[in-house]
Amino acid sequence: MSKILVGLKRVVDYNVRVRVKPDGSGVVTDGIKMSINPFDEIALEEALRIKEQGGATEVIVVSIGAAETQQQLRTGLAMGADRAILVQADSAVEPLVAAKVFLKLIEKEAPTIVLLGKQAIDDDNNQTGQMLAALWQRPQATFASKIELAGGKAKVTREVDAGLETIEVDLPAVFTTDLRLNEPRYVKLPDIMKAKKKPLDIIALDTLGIETAGQFKTLKYEAPATRQKGIMVKDVNELIAALKQKGLV
Amino acid sequence: MTKILIVAEHAGGKLNAATAKCVTCATAIAGAEIDIAVFAADAGDIAAQAAALAGVKKVLTVENAANAEPLAAVLAPQVAAVAANYTHVFGPSTTFGKDLMPRVAALLGVGQLSDIMAVESAYRFRRPVYAGNAIVTVEAPQDKKLVATVRAASFQPAASGGSAAIESAIESASAAADIPTHTRFVSRSAPATGRPDLQTASRVVSGGRALGSADNFKIIFGLADKLKAGVGASRAAVDSGYAANELQVGQTGKIISPELYVAVGISGAIQHLTGIKDARTIVAINKDAEAPIFEVADIGLVGDLFKIVPELEKALG
Ligand SMILES: Cc1cc2nc3c(=O)[nH]c(=O)nc-3n(C[C@H](O)[C@H](O)[C@H](O)COP(=O)(O)OP(=O)(O)OC[C@H]3O[C@@H](n4cnc5c(N)ncnc54)[C@H](O)[C@@H]3O)c2cc1C
């Protein structure tokens, strides 16, 4: 029995142009499309491929969020996960709290691999996987673009600023995904029907016995500074002239 | 007393420019005392470069063969040990810092603040969220150590001319730190040479999906050479194999702030725009007059890139 735990966060869909609420209390989410964080979808796809190639026997998708997050977990089940766990929380949790939640679930499920997205496209924090690996005292291979498993170890190619870096880690370990790891599969209609029968357990966040309060206070949200309206030029000569005027050529 | 420890990023004996930008961020906190820690197999040259940054009080070196490669699992316990006497621990929000700093924070039992773009006070900062579509002002508790990454594109590098003292911190680092062996370095792709580095280049020319092939992408390199510019790419161009992954600009690639950014055949998706918002001048070349890139461009030219780029190259002589 070897299990893979996959984190799925419910976020504003990546195609939505996010707007700040006029009172600065947050961003507009009413009536806006919500989806699985794209990096998490890649994490799930990778877990499914590992299982399909015999590297694992069970894929469990986990989310921390409000009751509506069941939608994203059902999508995860339709993609092929075996079961789902929703850790129900009424407000967003900070990455350190999320890592502590995962650690609790790890104690119970004893996975050999935990796959998370490298960042969630709402808070853009890029922290949870690294924090979890620290608390679990296990290796982390972040920003993975290739994962090869062999004999209790994994060779992981990582996308770093300098290019590609390969490291080897002992399992169990935490992997966080980058965009080029894989292309997630599409969900088929019959799978959506099947997913309805798969188990989805709900656990209340405050029953886990961890400190759930955040440490940072968000005082306000603002729209970013807008750039000044530019000019359109007709041809290369005008472009060169405009660049000259700015002292750029 | 605010005491800030900055974790140096370096490769090949050279201090990464992002470290000097972290120093500038730290100096924006009034009255802060700023030290830099260099974790390396051989810290000599790097420590000297760090000591020359204006505003730095002390450079701490932790030399250990295990520190030859920047593995977060190996470095984090040592950073956490050295951090004991500091109120703040900063690292750059490069892939190095993003990999390392959350691990350090968790070892210290605290949260982490990502991508500081502006300092309001020692415990109040601004940072982007939602791919830069919103900016939040965040307050951190004063009774906890503040671990954070600094968004390099938001700060100028600190000037040189400093002369900080260099001290070894090997004892405090290795006494407390249990260095794991479960993570091992294997290899790294050879760094590209001969062209300005994308992250620090003052000019960048980027190509998008429109280039259509790796072979066609060469015209981007050609134009970049004429402008003495670094080369970037959209995700679509990287995914399609026209350009190397380290050239990706955007939310999940590099966030850059050049004087001049030339976007060629790039539509201007939000995820791409977030990487170039701090560019001084944006030039867009796209055949679709409705492309969103024109909304942020300072100079826009509608037309076929395969005609315009060669013309432009020629005109630049
Ligand atoms: C989670 C997530 C993260 C992402 N992160 C990033 C990121 O970091 N960076 C990034 O870039 N993208 C990122 N993306 C992808 C982003 O959404 C876009 O898909 C991508 O930026 C599009 O690249 P493009 O502009 O090259 O391609 P397209 O959108 O296909 O645009 C091509 C453009 O070329 C123009 N064109 C075509 N032919 C010609 C011609 N002959 N001459 C002139 N113009 C021509 C077209 O008019 C069009 O505007 C991310 C997406 C997701 C979901």
**Cα diameter, chain B:** 63
Question: Residues 2 to 41 of B: which have CB under 8 A from any A CB?
Answer: 11
Residue to substitute from B14, B99, B248, B287, interface A, most A β-carbons within 10 A: B99
Q: Which residues are within 8 A (CB) of B23 and not within 5 positions of it... i.e. 6 or more apart?
A: B6, B34, B36, B53, B54, B55, B56, B157, B158
Q: Do B301 and A128 touch (CB under 8 A)?
A: no
Burial of residue B222 (CB within 10 Å: 0-12, 13-18, 19+) is: middle
Instruction: Provide the pLDDT for residue B216.
Output: 98
Question: How big is the CA angle at A227 (ends A17 and B303), to the nearest 5 degrees?
Answer: 85
3-state SS class at A133: helix
Question: How big is the CA angle at B280 (ends B276 and B286), to the nearest 5 degrees?
Answer: 60
Out of A123, A224, A234, name the one closest to residue B135 (CB): A224
Question: How big is the CA angle at B76 (ends B75 and B82), to the nearest 5 degrees?
Answer: 90
The DSSP output letter for B198 is T
Ligand 1 pocket check for B236: Cβ under 6 Å: yes
Other CB atoms closer than 10 Å to residue A29's CB: what's the count? Answer: 15
Q: Rounded CA gap, B235 and B208, in Å?
A: 8
Residues, chain B: 317
Out of A27, A167, A232, name the one closest to residue B130 (CB): A27
Asked if B183 and A156 touch (Cβ cutoff 8 Å), the reply is: no
Q: Rounded CA gap, B110 and B112, in Å?
A: 7
The DSSP output letter for B277 is T
Token pair belonging to B89? 């621990």
Asked if B137 and B126 touch (Cβ cutoff 8 Å), the reply is: yes
Instruction: Provide the pLDDT for residue B176.
Output: 65
In which domain, by residue range, is A62 found?
Answer: 3-245
Closest Cα in chain A to B138: A218
Among A148, A120, A126, A125, residue whose Cα is nearest residue A40? A120
Instruction: Provide the pLDDT for residue B170.
Output: 86
Q: Are strands B58-63 and B165-168 parallel, antiparallel or unpaired?
A: parallel
Q: Rounded CA gap, A236 and B310, in Å?
A: 10
Q: In total, how many domains does chain A have?
A: 1
Q: Rounded CA gap, A218 and A77, in Å?
A: 34
Ligand 1 pocket check for B237: Cβ under 6 Å: yes
In the block, which residue shows the tokens 């005109």?
B315
Ligand 1 pocket check for B288: Cβ under 6 Å: yes
Distances (CA, A) of A29 to A75, A210, B251: 20, 29, 21
Out of B235, B244, B301, name the one closest to residue A239 (CB): B301
Instruction: Provide the pLDDT for residue B174.
Output: 75
Instruction: Provide the pLDDT for residue A164.
Output: 95
Q: Rounded CA gap, A159 and A177, in Å?
A: 9
pTM beyond 0.80: the answer is yes
Q: Locate the domains of chain B by residue range.
A: 3-172, 203-316
Instruction: Provide the pLDDT for residue B173.
Output: 76
Determine the distance from the C-alpha atom of residue A85 to the mean position of all C-alpha atoms in its chain, rounded to a whole number. 16
**One-character DSSP codes across A56-75:** -SEEEEEEEE-GGGHHHHHH
Q: Rounded CA gap, A197 and A209, in Å?
A: 30
Residue to substitute from A28, A138, A167, interface B, most B β-carbons within 10 A: A167
Burial of residue B106 (CB within 10 Å: 0-12, 13-18, 19+) is: buried
- Stated as kind and residue range, the H or E segment containing A149 is strand A140-150
3-state SS class at A206: helix
Low-confidence ranges of chain A (pLDDT < 70): 1
Q: Rounded CA gap, B188 and A164, in Å?
A: 6
**Chain B nearest C-alpha distance from A125 (Å):** 6
Closest ligand 1 atom to residue B285 Cα is: 43
Ligand 1 pocket check for B301: Cβ under 6 Å: no
Question: Residues 120 to 179 of B: which have CB under 8 A from any A CB?
Answer: 124, 128-141, 144
The DSSP output letter for A234 is S
Ligand 1 pocket check for B70: Cβ under 6 Å: no
Residues, chain A: 249
CATH of the domain at A96: 3.40.50.620
Among B206, B199, B234, B205, residue whose Cα is nearest residue B97? B199
Inter-chain contacts counted by CB atoms under 8 A, chains A and B: 246
Low-confidence ranges of chain B (pLDDT < 50): none
Instruction: Provide the pLDDT for residue B175.
Output: 63
Closest ligand 1 atom to residue B253 Cα is: 8
Question: How big is the CA angle at B226 (ends A228 and B302), to the nearest 5 degrees?
Answer: 45
In the block, which residue shows the tokens 């500091």?
B86
State in words which class domain B3-172 has: alpha beta
- Chain B residues with CB-CB distance to A218 below 8 A: 136-138
State in words which class domain B203-316 has: alpha beta
